[in-house]
């Protein structure tokens, strides 16, 4: 019985505990978009930090707007391809602990409470290549 209880606690911890370094991901809605998937390498930028991976991906729309995609390894298969996606729009709040290397607001002053920032990422739920 103790083993089952311990396993249950571990499962709950992994499901609700340390999945994301963010203080909160809130699903705002769902939408459909078309564009070209572009890959970027890790850099000290808001896009890279919000995406949540070493590499990051954006969907470049026809108007030139870049939508940051939540990191998913399957996106490598769609790099530089025109696609149609269905995605969940997620508002992500990320804390910036003192001494960390995350982006901080330009108007943040040292000695004030630790900053956090909010960004929007799109979690792809369906993706198809457009010819």
Is residue 9 a part of any domain in this protein? no
Domain count, the chain: 1
pLDDT by residue (tens digit) across 48-86? 878 876 788 999 999 999 999 998 989 999 999 999 999
Is residue 92 a part of any domain in this protein? yes
Which pLDDT belongs to residue 118? 80
Residue 124 predicted with pLDDT over 90: yes
**Please, are residues 41 and 90 in contact by the beta-carbon 8 Å criterion?**
no
**Please, are residues 89 and 31 in contact by the beta-carbon 8 Å criterion?**
yes
Cα-based torsion angle of the residue sequence 45, 56, 60, 38 in order, rounded to the nearest 10 degrees: 120
Is residue 100 a part of any domain in this protein? yes
Query: Averaged over 109-130, what is the pLDDT?
Result: 82
Is residue 113 a part of any domain in this protein? yes
Q: What is the CATH number of the domain that holds 37?
A: 2.40.50
Is residue 13 a part of any domain in this protein? no
Residue 19 predicted with pLDDT over 50: no
Query: Whole-model pTM?
Result: 0.68
Residue 21 predicted with pLDDT over 50: no
Q: Is 50 helix (H, G, I), strand (E, B) or coil?
A: helix
Residue 45 predicted with pLDDT over 70: yes
Is residue 2 a part of any domain in this protein? no
Is residue 41 a part of any domain in this protein? yes
Full residue range of the structural domain in which residue 61 is found = 20-129
The tokens for 99 are 């001494």
Is residue 73 a part of any domain in this protein? yes
């Amino acid at each position: 019985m103790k083993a089952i209880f311990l396993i249950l606690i571990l499962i709950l911890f992994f499901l609700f505990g340390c999945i994301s370094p963010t203080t909160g991901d809130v699903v705002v809605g769902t939408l459909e978009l078309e564009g070209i998937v572009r890959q970027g390498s890790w850099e000290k930028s808001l896009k890279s930090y919000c995406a949540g991976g070493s590499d990051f991906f954006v969907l470049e729309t026809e108007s030139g707007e870049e939508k940051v995609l939540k990191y998913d390894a399957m996106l490598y298969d769609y790099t530089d391809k025109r696609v149609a996606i269905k995605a969940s729009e997620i508002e992500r709040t990320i804390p910036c602990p003192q001494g960390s290397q995350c982006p901080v607001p330009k108007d943040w002053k040292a000695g004030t409470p630790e900053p956090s920032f909010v960004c929007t990422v799109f979690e792809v739920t369906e993706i198809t290549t457009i010819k």
